[in-house]
Amino acid sequence: MGVKVLRSNEGDSINRTGDAIFIGEVRARNLAEGSQDVVASVVQFAAGAHTKMHRHTSDQMLLVLSGIGKVGDAEGDHVIGTGDSALILAGTDHWHGAGDTGSPMTHLSVMRGDSQSTVL
Model pLDDT for residues 85-111, shown as the tens digit of each residue: 999 999 999 999 998 999 999 999 999
- Cα–chain center distance at 62: 6
Domain that holds residue 43: 14-119
Question: Is there a domain that residue 6 lies in?
Answer: no
Tens digit of each residue's pLDDT (9 = 90 or more) over 40-55: 999 999 999 999 999 9
Question: Is there a domain that residue 2 lies in?
Answer: no
- Confirm whether pTM is higher than 0.85: yes
Q: Which of 62, 55, 60 minimizes the C-alpha distance to 97? A: 62
What is the domain-level CATH number for residue 90? Answer: 2.60.120.10
Q: Are 105 and 67 in contact (CB under 8 A)?
A: yes
Question: Is there a domain that residue 87 lies in?
Answer: yes
Structural domains counted in the chain: 1
E strands present in 16-93: 22-23, 26-30, 38-45, 50-51, 54-56, 60-73, 76-81, 85-88
d(CA 54, CA 38): 19
